[in-house]
């Protein structure tokens, strides 16, 4: 098992090196002059040059790359010019916000989409099936910023059910003592029930927004995979043997239909991290996505590179986790690396 994990990690190294090179080059060819931007509106040509030298941007590209890689090996991702802080600290502070939101959305989406998919498969062509199809298609075809704004308008502005879209916590709460960085978990650990409620309340709308967006792939794959399995011989045998409907569906069919669903989960997690960017903007969520976008708009290289790198590592880890999960779900899937 451990050797398998190590082998997988080794395989990931070339792709991470590729990501480092490509992001470095991409950020350099972007239009926009960092030095001019940070020298301010009133800067003379000379002031711009001074800033350029200060930032090390007067060096040739290979020299800049070498010093970037050198810093990277020491765990230094550079400092952001827009926020004025080291990128590592910023990402460490913001990543939990994004992952908490993404995982919550994924969980919610699973809880809704998998049962919907199963029912749609079992009651193939019934109204449930059609409803599922319409509901999930609608969810995925509405852009997340639109659903987000719509939810804010309806549930906060009109109905007043949701709290103000002010980020992870209402302004009058202070964040719980940091342990995992997930406010829900940290507040429970610290037994701050009021903070837990406040954090959950803030999390509700962005989570629903993201979940609605990710229902479709999970529900559709569950349905398709279930239909396939339900039509197979062993299910027919099980039914013929007189097993109850529930046992057949849940114990025999669903377990066998799970593999494609897990694969999809990995993909959905990845694209939710991307979709996060817009949701974070709408809900003033202090996550990594909004951080990277703001940096990009200001031609602030270091955070963009750091963000892409962290995302790449995250993808590698998610894929690894999924491969491991295969083995658990289906012992036949002995992963060979």
Partner 1 sequence: MDRRTFLKSSAAAVGGVAAPAVWSPSKAQSRQETLLIVSESGPNNLDIHGVGTNVPGYEVSWNCYDRLISHEMKTGPNGAPYYDRDKFKPELAEDMNVGDMSATFKLRKNAKFQDGSPVTARDVKWSLDRAVSVGGFPTFQMKAGSLEKPEQFVVVDDQTIRVDFIRKDKLTIPDLAVIVPCIVNSELVKKNANPKDPWGLEYTKLNTAGSGAYKVTRWTPGTEVVLERNEQWASGPMPKVRRIIWRMIPSAGNRRALLERGDADISYDQPNKDFAELKGNNKLRIISTPYSNGIQYIGMNVKIAPFDNVKVRQAVAYALPYQKIMDAVLFGLAEPMFGAKAGSPLEVKWPQPHQYNSDLAKARQLLAEAGYPNGFETTLSFDLGFAGINEPLCILVQESLALIGIKTTINKVPGANWRTELNKKTMPLFTNVFSGWLDYPEYFFFWCYDGQNSVFNTMSYQSKQIDGYIEAARVAAANNDTAAYDKSVKDFVGLAFTDIPRIPMFQPYVNVAMQKNVDGYQYWFHRRLDYRALTKS
Binding status of residue 29 toward partner 1 by CB under 8 A: no
User: What DSSP state is assigned to residue 123?
Assistant: T
Interface with partner 1 (CB under 8 A), residue from 86, 167, 260, 266: 167
Q: Which residues of 39-53 are buried (b: 16+ CB within 10 A; e: fewer)?
A: beeebeeeebeebbe
Binding status of residue 282 toward partner 1 by CB under 8 A: yes
Interface with partner 1 (CB under 8 A), residue from 132, 209, 299, 305: 299
- Both structure tokens of 288: 């990594």
Nearer to partner 1, 51 or 249 (CB): 51
**CA–CA gap between residue 252 and residue 237 (Å, rounded):** 11
Nearer to partner 1, 85 or 123 (CB): 85
Other Cβ atoms within 10 Å of 129 Cβ, number: 18
Q: Give, in degrees to the nearest 5, the angle at Cα 183 between 292 and 278.
A: 30
Binding status of residue 181 toward partner 1 by CB under 8 A: no
Interface with partner 1 (CB under 8 A), residue from 106, 119, 230, 298: 298
User: What DSSP state is assigned to residue 30?
Assistant: S
Task: Name the one range near partner 1 by CB under 8 A: 108-116, 132-140, 254-262, 297-305.
Answer: 297-305
Residue with tokens 């994004």: 98
Binding status of residue 39 toward partner 1 by CB under 8 A: yes
Of the candidates 55, 99, 24, 83, the residue with the CA atom closest to the CA atom of residue 304: 24
Nearer to partner 1, 83 or 137 (CB): 83
- Both structure tokens of 264: 């999809």
Distances 326 to 37, 146, 266, 312, 316 between C-alpha atoms, Å: 49, 36, 12, 21, 16
Interface with partner 1 (CB under 8 A), residue from 78, 139, 165, 206: 165
Nearer to partner 1, 199 or 216 (CB): 199
Residue with tokens 């790359």: 65
- Both structure tokens of 89: 């600290």
Binding status of residue 47 toward partner 1 by CB under 8 A: yes
Question: In the window 198-227, what residues touch partner 1 (CB under 8 A)?
Answer: 198, 200-201, 204
Binding status of residue 142 toward partner 1 by CB under 8 A: no
From residue 252 to residue 281, the character string flagging contacts with partner 1 as x (rule: CB under 8 A) and all else as - is: -----------------------------x
Binding status of residue 42 toward partner 1 by CB under 8 A: yes
Interface with partner 1 (CB under 8 A), residue from 2, 171, 240, 328: 171
3-class DSSP assignment, residue 174: coil
Binding status of residue 49 toward partner 1 by CB under 8 A: no
Interface with partner 1 (CB under 8 A), residue from 20, 24, 77, 90: 90
Give me the least distance between CB of 40 and partner 1, in Å please: 4
User: What DSSP state is assigned to residue 251?
Assistant: I
Of the candidates 49, 222, 69, the residue with the CA atom closest to the CA atom of residue 133: 222
**CA–CA gap between residue 154 and residue 164 (Å, rounded):** 12
Contact positions vs partner 1 (CB under 8 A): 31-34, 36-45, 47-48, 50-51, 54, 80-85, 90, 93, 149, 152-153, 155-157, 160-167, 170-173, 194, 197-198, 200-201, 204, 281-284, 286, 290-291, 294, 297-299
């Amino acid at each position: 098992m451990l050797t398998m994990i190590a082998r997988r990690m080794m395989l990931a190294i070339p792709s991470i090196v590729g990501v480092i090179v490509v992001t470095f080059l991409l950020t350099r060819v972007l239009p926009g002059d960092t030095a001019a931007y940070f020298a301010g509106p009133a800067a003379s040509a000379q002031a711009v040059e001074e800033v350029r030298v200060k930032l090390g941007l007067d060096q040739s590209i290979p020299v800049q790359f070498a010093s970037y890689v050198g810093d990277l090996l020491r765990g230094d991702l550079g400092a952001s010019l827009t926020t004025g802080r080291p990128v590592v600290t910023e990402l460490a502070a913001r990543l939990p916000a994004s992952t908490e939101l993404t995982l919550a959305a994924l969980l919610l989406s699973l809880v809704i989409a998998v049962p919907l998919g199963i029912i749609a498969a079992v009651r193939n062509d019934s109204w449930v099936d059609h409803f599922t199809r319409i509901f999930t298609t609608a969810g995925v075809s509405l852009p997340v910023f639109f659903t987000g704004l719509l939810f804010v308008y309806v549930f906060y502005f009109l109905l007043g059910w949701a709290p103000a879209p002010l980020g992870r916590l209402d302004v009058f709460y202070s964040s719980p003592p940091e342990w995992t960085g997930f406010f829900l978990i940290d507040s429970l650990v610290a037994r701050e029930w009021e903070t837990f409620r406040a954090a959950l309340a803030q999390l509700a709308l962005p989570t629903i927004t993201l979940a609605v967006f990710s229902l479709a792939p999970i529900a559709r794959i569950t349905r398709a995979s279930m239909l396939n399995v339900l039509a197979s011989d062993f299910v027919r045998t099980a039914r013929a043997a007189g097993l109850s409907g529930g046992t057949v569906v849940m114990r025999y069919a669903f377990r066998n239909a799970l593999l494609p669903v897990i694969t999809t989960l990995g993909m959905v997690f990845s694209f939710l991290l991307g979709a996060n960017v817009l949701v974070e903007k709408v809900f003033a969520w202090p996550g990594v996505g909004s951080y990277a976008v703001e940096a990009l708009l200001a031609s602030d290289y270091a955070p963009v590179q750091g963000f892409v790198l962290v995302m790449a590592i995250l993808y590698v880890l998610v894929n690894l986790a999924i491969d491991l999960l295969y083995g658990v779900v289906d012992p036949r899937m002995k992963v060979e690396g």
